[in-house]
Amino acid sequence: MSNRTTMTEFLLLGFSDIRELQILHFVVFLVIYLAALVGNLLIITAVALDHHLHTPMYFFLMNLSILDIGSISVPVSKSMANSLMNTRSISYSGCVTRVFFFMLFSSTDIALLTVLAYDRYVAICQPLHCERVMNRRACVHMAASAWISIFVYTALHTGNTFALSFCGGNMGDQFFCEIPQLLKLACSGSYLRETGVIVFSTCLAFSWFVFTVVSYVQIFTTVLRIPSEQGRHKALSTCLPHLTVVSLFFFTIAFAYLKPTSSSISGLDLMVAVLYSVMPPMMNPIIYSMRNKEIKAGLRKPMAGRLFTKNELSIFRL
């Protein structure tokens, strides 16, 4: 019997052990990771440099982009390294660190998506109170509160998880360290200690989801009352990207964490894990910028400025 005092490493058995497929996995994840990195860095740059984007919505979008970079880096970097080096192992301390940071980034992401839903509610349903309610100080306080509270929650949840005794070996049926797979390895007696934390986490996530749904019910009710079609379209254009991201995030996480656990991993488990851990950070910049003229304009300005500077230098040299 092995437990947490003797455990030195875990084995991640998510993908194939065929060398050619491991290289393919590395290449696919590398492309996805670079796309997510470039997309989110472009949004951060656009919001930071364009003063027209210094509004509550884009302040939270910049925070979300920072979180997306962190949340995709945690699972993908180790998975790519293992595929490249033809190994499956991850150290015990490495697993603890990655569980903590993945939970921190993804949970804070959900919290800020909920705050962003409230921002959209205030902007559309109470426009006269928007500047007073969602001022700069309030936005900073909301973001800081989300970061700090989720940090404390994540530390307690991670500590409680790795305080369990692991009687089921050290083989995790996933491509990264995640709590549902670790709980499969825990002893049945010690697993009860985690039940309270799981119930609390479920209630917390459900409350965020309900708050978001209620906010959007109010938003759509208000939008339908707008007399002009152009006004309705403009209001919806700022909400649909956020609603798409929230739906993708909530439903994939709910499926992954609430479905009955099985003794062996399936292709569906891997697909859902990729959907909620890898795809949102890559898709979010595309979703947010696809129908957002202000983001597109903010992205063009640094590029146009750089091209203008290069032309000036070339003329000067001539």
pLDDT score at 190:
58
- CA-to-CA dists, residue 33 to 29, 75, 91, 118, 162, angstroms: 6, 10, 23, 30, 28
Encoded tokens for 106: 């993804």
pLDDT score at 252:
72
Q: Which of 136, 114, 132 is nearest to 123 (CA)?
A: 132
Encoded tokens for 234: 């403009």
Q: Dump pLDDT digits (tens) for 125-176.
A: 888 888 888 888 888 999 999 999 999 999 988 988 888 877 767 787 788 8
pLDDT score at 67:
93
Reading across the β-sheet that carries 89-91, which strands appear in turn?
89-91, 9-12, 171-172
State if pTM tops 0.85. Answer: no
Helices marked H in the chain — which ranges?
19-49, 56-85, 92-125, 130-133, 136-162, 179-184, 188-224, 229-237, 240-258, 267-277, 279-290, 293-317
Q: How far apart are CA 89 and CA 78, in angstroms?
A: 10
pLDDT score at 3:
45
- Other CB atoms within 10 Å distance of the CB of residue 211: 15
Q: Do residues 64 and 109 lie in contact, with contact meaning Cβ atoms separated by under 8 Å?
A: yes
Q: How far apart are CA 131 and CA 171, in angstroms?
A: 53
Encoded tokens for 54: 């210094």
Secondary structure class of 1 (helix, strand, coil): coil
pLDDT score at 100:
94
Domains, the chain, ordered by start: 9-161+170-317 (1.20.1070.10)
Q: How far apart are CA 28 and CA 21, in angstroms?
A: 10
pLDDT score at 229:
80
pLDDT score at 2:
44
Q: How far apart are CA 48 and CA 40, in angstroms?
A: 12
- What residue ranges of the chain have pLDDT lower than 50? 1-5, 263-264, 307-309, 311-318
What is the torsional sign of CA 88, 92, 97, 102? positive
pLDDT score at 167:
78
State the pairing for strand pair 171-172/9-12. parallel
pLDDT score at 315:
38
